[in-house]
Amino acid sequence: MRQLAAGVWQLKGRPPNGINVYLVEDVLIDAASRRAGKRILSQLEGREVNAHALTHAHPDHQGASAEVCDALGIPYWVGAVDVPLAEDLDKMKATQAPHPLNRLIMKYWCGPARHVDRHLHEGDEVAGFRVLDVPGHSPGHIAYWRESDRVLIIGDVLNNMDVVTGIPGLRDPKPYFTADPAENRRSARKLARLEPKLVLFGHGAPLRDTRKFVDFVNGLPV
């Protein structure tokens, strides 16, 4: 686990930066695939963790959520519009394109559905971060923003690697993984207007180049 900012840590994953999980103060953000539970829990040993929150209810972000919440006895927090997806895997599947990779990911990475204890809405506070609604990649995708030092956790609104090839660099998420690509780009522009100093992605290395992030988003198709 490495510290990226005050109270913000990135857990180790395989491969590094492939599917990211973060600890923000006492809240775990995302939980990778269902095969990651043991690795996540081992890194949390000795740390106070009081809740688990998602950026969005996709298999590579909620895979170990039920295992982690049950093992630690902590509540599960999800963006309000994504709550039905987190609680019903058929509804999660229905929001995804009928692409072979989606079928494989649902089969091998998806974790069990679980009751959501808190429905997150724009403006809610989570461990010193403000919840932002950024739909598109999933219907109820959310981001987490800390204005004091301009740290932004964006899930899959953008990727900082090609999730299929592993090649680093800013990317729109793949359209076949994204419920509404045009809406997702509108959400990306909303985040670019914040001019973050540190951007933390669901996939890819952290980015500390504000200008690069803003310019990339401004160059996306409308």
Per-residue pLDDT of 168-215, as tens digits, reads 999 999 999 999 999 999 999 999 999 999 999 999 999 999 999 999
Q: Which two tokens stand for residue 157?
A: 């609104």
Tally of CB atoms within 10 A around 83: 21
- The whole-angstrom separation of Cα 199 and Cα 206 is 6
Q: Is the pLDDT of residue 32 over 90?
A: yes
Q: Is the pLDDT of residue 24 over 90?
A: yes
pLDDT, position 141:
98
pTM summary value: 0.96
Q: Which two tokens stand for residue 86?
A: 């987190």
Q: Is 222 exposed, middle or buried (0-12, 13-18, 19+ CB in 10 A)?
A: exposed
Average confidence score pLDDT of the chain:
97
Amino acid letter, 30: D
- The whole-angstrom separation of Cα 44 and Cα 21 is 11
- The whole-angstrom separation of Cα 111 and Cα 48 is 24
The predicted-structure confidence for 114-157, as pLDDT tens digits, reads as follows 999 999 999 999 999 999 999 999 999 999 999 999 999 999 99
Q: Is the pLDDT of residue 45 over 90?
A: yes
Report cis status (omega within 30 of 0) of the bond before 175: no
pLDDT, position 222:
80
Q: Is the pLDDT of residue 14 over 90?
A: no
Angle at 170 between CA 164 and CA 174, to 5 degrees: 40
CB 61 within 8 A of CB 91: no
Class of the 2-218 domain?
alpha beta
Alpha-carbon 175 to chain mean position: 17
The predicted-structure confidence for 73-121, as pLDDT tens digits, reads as follows 999 999 999 999 999 999 999 999 999 999 999 999 999 999 999 999 9
Domain boundary assignment for the chain: 2-218
